[in-house]
Chain A
């Protein structure tokens, strides 16, 4: 016997003890696919034959079965299963996971089972047990399909068991091997004129089909390049040319140039054709009238054909390797590729909340709002004015029969092609075309994105990034990020990027220094990077600047509707300016500079995202400066002169070894007196009073993204050059970053760059950042650090303390590990770029937010903040 079972099914073996279930399972299934009740008895009690733990063993078995089916794994239950009540929970589990329960019955002669049992040393079941099993099995056999088993196979003899083969067949909805291209076409409702026009517009060629029965007509279409049309159902009712519409679809399906899923109208027509009592409402009368016009005997013949065709339609399709799902009313992720009555119902009707709206129509449950699946779901069913994307789902029913349009989605291009309805064929019960769309409405996705879901950020999370694979966010760090994000961060719609942390260069052995450019160049050279860009590191506060061309761009691209046209935010996502006028003024100046430099047109964009340093440091870090830096300076400058004076006084009184050790202490204190002055000088460099916009300086160093593009495909030289042009247009505010390109294999260039750094830091500069010229570089062990900072000696005083240059301190400070910092830097970099790429691809906000949130969470990881 050939046992054909669906790829994803719950196979329930049924047979008395000794009937050979385990042997059968071993022969036909993977060991991991088979869940044996005896093994579960062993798992919970160390004894596979312990009948006292049946309840616990089956709890384990059912739990594992449930997990496997949720993951889409075929599962085999190896237990006697001879009683209806023991099969019932299994059928229920299969139903929960929308897969088919299959029964394979080993109904072998009682005597044979008994003999086998007696031959087993580990089990001693009396003959009454097998007898009972048989009796129960006999009573069960007829009712199996009523219990819910969709396929029942009964093997009656050892010969049949030996001869049996198991074949796994894909479900009808499984068309993963078809990769398109596809043209997905919305609800037709007999709008044949529009269908013909649309197929023409999509490039399909019409031809006459021979050999079909008369009722279908001969009209057929195919795409010369081999694409397929996919109809989302509701071919019939309401419209003017129902039968011709169905004819074209039927013919295209029959020649393989189209696929079609059924809609609720199609199924209702099928019921009518089969003689069921259905209400002649919602345009069914139109269809029936057309049928009635057919002359007999064609009418009867065609009704049979029509019913057979509609009956053959599969409730949904999974296409393109699982990346595309088509169903009339959409389909939840957990139902895709599965087959059950509930899956079919959902695909046809969707879910309703049980309420009705003011037009008396059922209120639909917005399954798409909760959709988190990875496949793109294309559906129709409910007419909408515009095809609407929401969480990787799209409704393409633009209400042609109601006077809207007939829309096709081209896949994989994801472009819409549509033709307008020639006229309104039917008045909708609920108006779906507003009298002119109000200008400030958001797309469905943007409106949905007003509220993010906690489930999308909290807890341990693993974010897939293009640059670095999976980045893990730990629970505790997500918790810290949630508080900061909720209490301080700006509107998440603006937060498309947070900057990564940056590692310093390896610690140098140069006397008096912790960091030196030689190590940075050496790092990139050993990573195989030939050219690096050295950029002066500005000392201010990191600022992300987003500028939109106008309010319209802010609304369309960011879904921001309160009149803002951009934002300046900090590395933790917090709005930089408390004064909206100041922020607006700064954005306006940047906007003008972008216009003057021609950036809007060069990049063909209505928005840009810039990575910048905003100066002075004292503007944002005022509190830190006062409570920390200035305070330490004040304390030191108040303390040390007194200490030195008292030591000098005491020195005059002492002699001998006491005087010697005192003078040692005196020297140290005098040095420290000098160092505290250097410390104060160091932080003062980055402070100046800020009264108005004129006192700010903004130094952009990455032109991160604009419409359609994340500019990581450009070199840093390009970024520097492009940004310099913009900066020249507003020299009072924007600062072009001094930089130089260095060939790290040319020692002369390296020396020159070191000289440049020495000079720069000697004049009070913070230091420089060294980046591989290519924004994204890969070395032998994966992603190379996107940037390495190399800070100057005096700057590091405000990081490591006024006295860090003292040799006893420096020798200890040199022991610092960069590993964790560098791994964080790469993780955050990958997340940051991933967020931008998702935004540029118009992905839902939660997908962008996940990355931004991840950067913030990683930033809360404990790592030495001085690095």
Chain B
């Protein structure tokens, strides 16, 4: 991993003074994750280049750290030794600390003088593509040059790599250039920050003072810092889904930051309307003890908690990670005992008969069935309608016909990569009516969201009622 800083400022030797590193020496520094070398490949009258070379010891990193982290397969086979990451920030702070803070004992005036500078990073992983690179550097006054490396020449169909050779140029102080690199390099890399500790992350953010607040991309920049939170459960899950294509999204923290279907549906706040319609149906049913099956992060649960009609509320989800988020969002730890007694979050699956689900007045199954493989639907049907058999079931699922209303959604694709199917109104109603018939329920249908004259509404809702 190489950072090259060049200037055409004269005298060229000033760069050495600013960096506090002698151009005629090859210097090596021991760092927690390996070694850093500083040397000057070019020192002429016109131009001076200084190199910061990191030798990341990936074996040592795995061996000396928290043993739990050692179980992620990625750790020996990873791009850290080659690509610019938060390690580079740590090295800048430790090796070029004075330069970064703008100190120079011999020539104090130098540090405040803007000089023509260029920084080249040969391998910068940029999640978000070249556009993001420009959006981040250009508002800060940099000229950006970037070239993307191929993933594997032998297999051009695999596409391009996320790595760019990047050069940024600006006439500025060295301290500012280093500060920007220090903060921004990990932002491009994203989601691998667990290689450095929490304390380091805070230091990084503190360096953004004075310029980050007015940066147009400030939200994205800070969000990328705060995203990655390792969870042991997720790691053990990752051990199982490593090789699996779609599974990878949920396992390695690379999942899109916004649920894709949310992105589509947001302009019409469909989610809110959906929760509203489900609440209305549950209220109308007179239910006191309710289940939210596939409760996700707890949006519906929160509304249920606000209505005293619902005396016992149980949220179930198959994903432990999601339940943890729900637990946090609903502030379960801080509920009064009376409130806490109304709510229970349980880990479970709609593929297995579950005695904990028996004896409820109503169940909400919001945007869940489309995540089940069609051959497994029959298990779900029996688990809910034969065994749990609440008096009322309120079930929603996307209306595939409506997808045509979204220009951004390619024809024939689903709203979410984990959807195993999406039904037309006819398909849903056939399924629901057959189901109701078999298990002795009556069913009525409702449209949720703006209705298109031909295509219907984006969400379809069925209310199943069992005559008591």
Query: Which of A476, A647, A863 lies in contact with B71, CB distance below 8 A?
Result: A863
| Nearest Cβ on chain B to A762's Cβ, whole angstroms | 21
Query: Which of A631, A646, A804 lies in contact with B161, CB distance below 8 A?
Result: A631
Interface residues of B in 6-65 (CB under 8 A from A): 24-26, 28, 37, 39-43, 51, 53, 55, 58-60, 63
Q: A650-B39, A799-B76 are in contact. Are A454 and B319 (CB under 8 A)?
A: no
Is residue A813 within 8 Å, beta carbon to beta carbon, of the partner chain? yes
Q: A484-B240, A643-B53 are in contact. Are A635 and B123 (CB under 8 A)?
A: yes
Query: Which of A480, A639, A654, A860 lies in contact with B2, CB distance below 8 A?
Result: A639
A653 touches B347 (CB 8 A): no
Q: A630-B155, A650-B51, A658-B26 are in contact. Are A862 and B2 (CB under 8 A)?
A: no
B245 touches A623 (CB 8 A): yes
Contacts of B354 in A (CB 8 A): 453-454
B82 touches A632 (CB 8 A): yes
Is residue B362 within 8 Å, beta carbon to beta carbon, of the partner chain? no
B347 touches A865 (CB 8 A): no
B60 touches A798 (CB 8 A): no
Is residue A574 within 8 Å, beta carbon to beta carbon, of the partner chain? yes
Query: Which of B24, B163, B320 lies in contact with A658, CB distance below 8 A?
Result: B24
| Nearest Cβ on chain A to B378's Cβ, whole angstroms | 6
What is the 8 Å Cβ interface bit string for chain A, positions 645-669, against chain B (1 contact, 0 not)? 1110110011000110110010010
Contacts of A481 in B (CB 8 A): 240
Q: Give Cα A393–Cα B270 distance, bound, in whole angstroms.
A: 51
Interface residues of A in 825-867 (CB under 8 A from B): 856, 859-866
A626 touches B2 (CB 8 A): no
| Nearest Cβ on chain B to A516's Cβ, whole angstroms | 20
Q: Give Cα A146–Cα B253 distance, bound, in whole angstroms.
A: 69
B352 touches A860 (CB 8 A): no
B241 touches A650 (CB 8 A): no
Q: Say which one of B231-239, B255-263, B302-310, B441-449 lies at the interface with A.
A: B231-239
Q: A453-B353, A798-B77 are in contact. Are A812 and B26 (CB under 8 A)?
A: no
Query: Which of B59, B152, B352 lies in contact with A452, CB distance below 8 A?
Result: B352
B59 touches A451 (CB 8 A): no
Query: Which of A457, A634, A653 lies in contact with B352, CB distance below 8 A?
Result: A457
Is residue B361 within 8 Å, beta carbon to beta carbon, of the partner chain? no
B161 touches A635 (CB 8 A): yes
Is residue A800 within 8 Å, beta carbon to beta carbon, of the partner chain? yes
B348 touches A454 (CB 8 A): yes
A639 touches B122 (CB 8 A): yes
Q: Give Cα A800–Cα B247 distance, bound, in whole angstroms.
A: 24
A659 touches B26 (CB 8 A): yes
Q: Say which one of B379-387, B402-410, B426-434, B456-464 lies at the interface with A.
A: B379-387
Which residue of chain A lies nearest to B382 when distances are taken between CB atoms in the complex?
A: A451
Is residue B248 within 8 Å, beta carbon to beta carbon, of the partner chain? yes
B51 touches A646 (CB 8 A): yes
Q: Give Cα A860–Cα B71 distance, bound, in whole angstroms.
A: 11
Interface residues of A in 407-453 (CB under 8 A from B): 450-453
Contacts of A662 in B (CB 8 A): 26, 37, 39
Interface residues of B in 209-240 (CB under 8 A from A): 233, 235-237, 239-240
Contacts of B254 in A (CB 8 A): 627
| Interface residue count on the B side (C-beta < 8 Å) | 86
Which residue of chain B lies nearest to A642 when distances are taken between CB atoms in the complex?
A: B122
B352 touches A630 (CB 8 A): no
| Nearest Cβ on chain A to B130's Cβ, whole angstroms | 15
Contacts of A639 in B (CB 8 A): 1-2, 82-83, 122-123
A486 touches B163 (CB 8 A): no
Contacts of A812 in B (CB 8 A): 59-60, 63
A654 touches B355 (CB 8 A): no
| Nearest Cβ on chain A to B159's Cβ, whole angstroms | 7
| Nearest Cβ on chain B to A367's Cβ, whole angstroms | 15
What is the total of A-B residue contacts with beta carbons within 8 Å?
A: 248
Q: Give Cα A629–Cα B74 distance, bound, in whole angstroms.
A: 9
Q: Give Cα A367–Cα B301 distance, bound, in whole angstroms.
A: 35
B76 touches A476 (CB 8 A): no
Q: Give Cα A451–Cα B383 distance, bound, in whole angstroms.
A: 7
Contacts of B83 in A (CB 8 A): 635, 639
A486 touches B352 (CB 8 A): yes
Interface residues of B in 55-104 (CB under 8 A from A): 55, 58-60, 63, 68, 70-74, 76-79, 81-83
| Nearest Cβ on chain B to A234's Cβ, whole angstroms | 30
Contacts of B379 in A (CB 8 A): 450-452
Q: A646-B4, A801-B59 are in contact. Are A865 and B239 (CB under 8 A)?
A: yes
| Nearest Cβ on chain B to A751's Cβ, whole angstroms | 32
What is the 8 Å Cβ interface bit string for chain A, positions 566-588, against chain B (1 contact, 0 not)? 00001010100000000000000
Interface residues of A, dominant DSSP: helix
Q: Give Cα A217–Cα B70 distance, bound, in whole angstroms.
A: 82
| Nearest Cβ on chain B to A679's Cβ, whole angstroms | 8
Q: A451-B352, A572-B240, A631-B161 are in contact. Are A813 and B59 (CB under 8 A)?
A: yes
B82 touches A638 (CB 8 A): yes
Which residue of chain A lies nearest to B252 when distances are taken between CB atoms in the complex?
A: A627
Is residue A374 within 8 Å, beta carbon to beta carbon, of the partner chain? no
| Nearest Cβ on chain A to B150's Cβ, whole angstroms | 7
Residue from B40, B43, B240 having most chain A Cβ neighbours under 10 A: B240
B41 touches A649 (CB 8 A): yes
| Nearest Cβ on chain B to A355's Cβ, whole angstroms | 12
Is residue B265 within 8 Å, beta carbon to beta carbon, of the partner chain? no
Residue from A451, A680, A809 having most chain B Cβ neighbours under 10 A: A451
| Nearest Cβ on chain A to B368's Cβ, whole angstroms | 11
What is the 8 Å Cβ interface bit string for chain B, positions 131-164, against chain A (1 contact, 0 not)? 0000000000000000001111011011101110
Q: Give Cα A653–Cα B73 distance, bound, in whole angstroms.
A: 42
A630 touches B151 (CB 8 A): yes
Is residue A309 within 8 Å, beta carbon to beta carbon, of the partner chain? no
Q: Give Cα A659–Cα B427 distance, bound, in whole angstroms.
A: 75
Contacts of A634 in B (CB 8 A): 149-152, 161, 163
What is the 8 Å Cβ interface bit string for chain A, positions 445-485, against chain B (1 contact, 0 not)? 00000111111111000000000000000001101111111
- Which 4 A/B pairs are nearest by Cβ-Cβ distance? A649-B41, A486-B349, A801-B76, A639-B82
Interface residues of B (CB under 8 A from A): 1-2, 4, 24-26, 28, 37, 39-43, 51, 53, 55, 58-60, 63, 68, 70-74, 76-79, 81-83, 122-123, 125, 149-152, 154-155, 157-159, 161-163, 165, 233, 235-237, 239-245, 247-248, 254, 318-320, 347-356, 371, 373, 375-376, 378-379, 382-383, 386-387
- Additional pairs, 8, CB under 8 Å, beyond known A487-B318, A572-B240, A627-B254: A483-B318, A624-B243, A625-B158, A626-B158, A630-B158, A633-B152, A635-B125, A639-B122
29 residue pairs bridging A and B, Cβ less than 8 Å apart: A451-B382, A452-B352, A477-B236, A480-B320, A482-B348, A483-B349, A490-B375, A624-B243, A628-B77, A630-B152, A632-B78, A632-B82, A638-B82, A638-B122, A638-B165, A639-B122, A643-B53, A647-B53, A662-B37, A665-B28, A665-B37, A665-B53, A800-B77, A801-B76, A804-B59, A809-B59, A812-B63, A862-B235, A864-B71
Interface residues of A (CB under 8 A from B): 450-458, 476-477, 479-488, 490-491, 541, 562, 570, 572, 574, 620-640, 642-643, 645-647, 649-650, 653-654, 658-659, 661-662, 665, 668, 672, 676, 680, 684, 687, 689, 798-804, 809, 812-813, 856, 859-866
